[in-house]
A and B are shown apart, each in its own frame.
Chain A
């Protein structure tokens, strides 16, 4: 279960990250570290600020304060604050959304092709004149997309419109689209939301497959505790915008503060 590489290496770090909407502190000085090639879960009650943290990390929100540091490799370290979302994704952070955001009127294959946008180089001239380089690029991305769809079990649906997929397959497609960019960090926002038991089991297999096949770090927001406990190496717990606990699953399971946050003060 543990990643092969050393866990000491930090790929992403937030320092006193703060985000407020008017008077509401959605994130209150959150400092955490994500280890390279690990699976990290982010949990917390509704409205704790988990999605807000994702939005800050991926540039959709501009943090009110604090820093986000991305160690692209052990040498190269970048600040992500204030970068536009598309820049952040080009740097290697790919995400899914809590409420699925697919390109609904495009086919499954096209969704994946678009996911691979930043792997390609060709611009207007490439498109108009279709040089050898562009042709090869297009052929490669097409092959790659097909192989991704095959690996993650959507090959047969390649030609159907994204909006016509069943719910579970849509969730899966969103993950595949994110993978198509070849990210170094994959951020999954409640991938099991709305899935039934069997689909959740499938999702778990997919996440494990991603972990094994692609070399990347996974950050996962999830309410399904059995899923979280079984696949994550590290769990961070947010409550009212504050980081209240961090640690491996066993430690989090019996942390009194976490229990209190989830079950209310009376339980403690």
Chain B
């Protein structure tokens, strides 16, 4: 092929190709729709051209920005770098590697996804995201710091109950309870940490297990928390005092031809937890390559050697437990808002094990592994609906197989320091 012609037609061709690819990928969600009442599949081909056009445009824009970015990269080499144009936020963003772009594209995709999904799918997605947050938190404790924690669900409960109770008794809203729930869980983590800083391994596992049970029993037996009946009617998070379904649904349904039965409150919760996942992932990534994160790793590897390089093991343990618990509190508040009804039975020992499975399955200490693990673990039950009773049996078998054949988990932990060398 002659080079000249390919140079001009390439972006257009590429854009066309991306658009087709996007259309193909989105076909099952956007065009085919299963009508669950009559049990038939409906086709909405009229959406296809819109989809193609949108994909084509997006891809063209993308190419344009990429080219601009490349030109910018080449030019400073000629002139002096100090006298370059002022660096704006957008420029800095564009200067990031390809990976960042793909991630932001993915983020955008995840943001619009719930608007095209059934309420049921939104629920599963939200649950998956909550589990990712939980997994990331527990990963700090178990995967990175090596502290076997078997009562993690207790901190999840603290977050959920802080929202439930404060709302029930004082009518406080989601946005007030979100930081409060996080802080309370962190405080609970600290309280648990203080007596156990001297313990390691199995002893720590037993104490954390006990702690988890104590919290659950307290919730079950206290009249303050409504005992085993739990707390119901927990409101969704507010959106500047507006009723989302009333205000925006007619508009979305009319102009964008979206599902008229969607619940915007649930989508709003999905978006909130999506943002939380993004933030906690960033936090986890940053911690991993920081002084504190390295101290945790050292603690996991060898406590004696860790002391001999000047790391205080107690301090490392306390920070890991506190921070890990705060993630659970954050997830707990969102969880309460999502399911609107919480009871002690949602925070049992099996739930702690469930979260632990995510960390172990995904890969101890590996952030992408935890995300993959959470996605797998939270979607699996949906596929195993019929095999409900055998769920934990299947999990157990999965764990055994993992431990035997792939002890490093789905995605092996690779910290950027390793690959940079």
Which residue of B is nearest A163, CB measured? B301
**Is A89 a contact of B308 with CB atoms below 8 Å?**
yes
Which residue, A126, A128, A177, has most C-beta atoms of chain B within 10 A? Answer: A128
**Is B294 a contact of A110 with CB atoms below 8 Å?**
yes
Query: Does B389 interact with chain A (Cβ within 8 Å)?
Result: no
Please measure, in the bound complex, the distance between the C-alpha atom of A97 and the C-alpha atom of B302, giving whole angstroms. Answer: 12
Interface segment, one of A99-107, A211-219, A247-255, A260-268: A99-107
**Is B305 a contact of A101 with CB atoms below 8 Å?**
yes
Interface size on B, residues (CB 8 A): 31
**Is A97 a contact of B305 with CB atoms below 8 Å?**
yes
Q: Interface 1/0s, chain B 286-325, versus A by CB < 8 A?
A: 1101111111011001101111111111000001000100
**Is B309 a contact of A130 with CB atoms below 8 Å?**
no
Please measure, in the bound complex, the distance between the C-alpha atom of A63 and the C-alpha atom of B294, giving whole angstroms. Answer: 31
**Is A158 a contact of B421 with CB atoms below 8 Å?**
yes
**Is B292 a contact of A86 with CB atoms below 8 Å?**
no
Query: Does A22 interact with chain B (Cβ within 8 Å)?
Result: no
**Is B291 a contact of A94 with CB atoms below 8 Å?**
no
Query: Does A114 interact with chain B (Cβ within 8 Å)?
Result: yes
Task: Work out how many contacts link A and B, with CB atoms closer than 8 A.
Answer: 113
List 17 additional contacts besides A101-B305, A114-B309, A118-B309; criterion CB under 8 Å.
A85-B308, A86-B307, A86-B308, A90-B310, A97-B304, A97-B305, A97-B308, A102-B305, A103-B297, A104-B302, A106-B297, A109-B421, A114-B295, A114-B311, A117-B294, A128-B287, A159-B421
Q: Which residues of chain A are near B297, meaning CB under 8 Å?
A: 103, 106, 110, 114
Q: Which residues of chain A are near B417, meaning CB under 8 Å?
A: 107, 109-110, 113, 142
Query: Does B418 interact with chain A (Cβ within 8 Å)?
Result: yes
Query: Does B415 interact with chain A (Cβ within 8 Å)?
Result: yes
**Is B308 a contact of A109 with CB atoms below 8 Å?**
no
* 25 CB-based A-B contacts, threshold 8 Å: A58-B308, A60-B308, A85-B308, A86-B311, A94-B309, A97-B305, A101-B302, A101-B304, A101-B308, A102-B305, A103-B306, A104-B302, A113-B417, A117-B309, A117-B311, A118-B309, A122-B290, A122-B292, A127-B292, A128-B286, A130-B286, A138-B289, A158-B421, A159-B419, A178-B309
Query: Does B400 interact with chain A (Cβ within 8 Å)?
Result: no
Q: Interface 1/0s, chain A 153-167, versus B by CB < 8 A?
A: 000001100000000
Q: In whole Å, how far is A208's beta carbon from the nearest beta carbon of chain B? A: 24
Query: Does A123 interact with chain B (Cβ within 8 Å)?
Result: yes
Given contacts A101-B304, A105-B301, contact A122 B291 (CB under 8 A): yes
Query: Does B283 interact with chain A (Cβ within 8 Å)?
Result: yes
Which residue of B is nearest A122, CB measured? B291
**Is B421 a contact of A113 with CB atoms below 8 Å?**
no
Q: In whole Å, how far is A197's beta carbon from the nearest beta carbon of chain B? A: 28
Q: Which residues of chain A are near B293, meaning CB under 8 Å?
A: 127
Please measure, in the bound complex, the distance between the C-alpha atom of A120 and the C-alpha atom of B291, giving whole angstroms. Answer: 7
Query: Does A84 interact with chain B (Cβ within 8 Å)?
Result: yes
Please measure, in the bound complex, the distance between the C-alpha atom of A81 and the C-alpha atom of B311, giving whole angstroms. Answer: 18
Q: Which residues of chain B are near A178, meaning CB under 8 Å?
A: 308-309
**Is B287 a contact of A86 with CB atoms below 8 Å?**
no
Q: Which residues of chain B are near A128, meaning CB under 8 Å?
A: 283, 286-287
Which residue, A114, A158, A177, has most C-beta atoms of chain B within 10 A? Answer: A114
Q: Which residues of chain B are near A94, meaning CB under 8 Å?
A: 308-309
**Is B290 a contact of A117 with CB atoms below 8 Å?**
no
Please measure, in the bound complex, the distance between the C-alpha atom of A86 and the C-alpha atom of B312, giving whole angstroms. Answer: 6
Q: In whole Å, how far is A251's beta carbon from the nearest beta carbon of chain B? A: 32
**Is B307 a contact of A89 with CB atoms below 8 Å?**
yes
Please measure, in the bound complex, the distance between the C-alpha atom of A178 and the C-alpha atom of B419, giving whole angstroms. Answer: 23
**Is A124 a contact of B309 with CB atoms below 8 Å?**
no
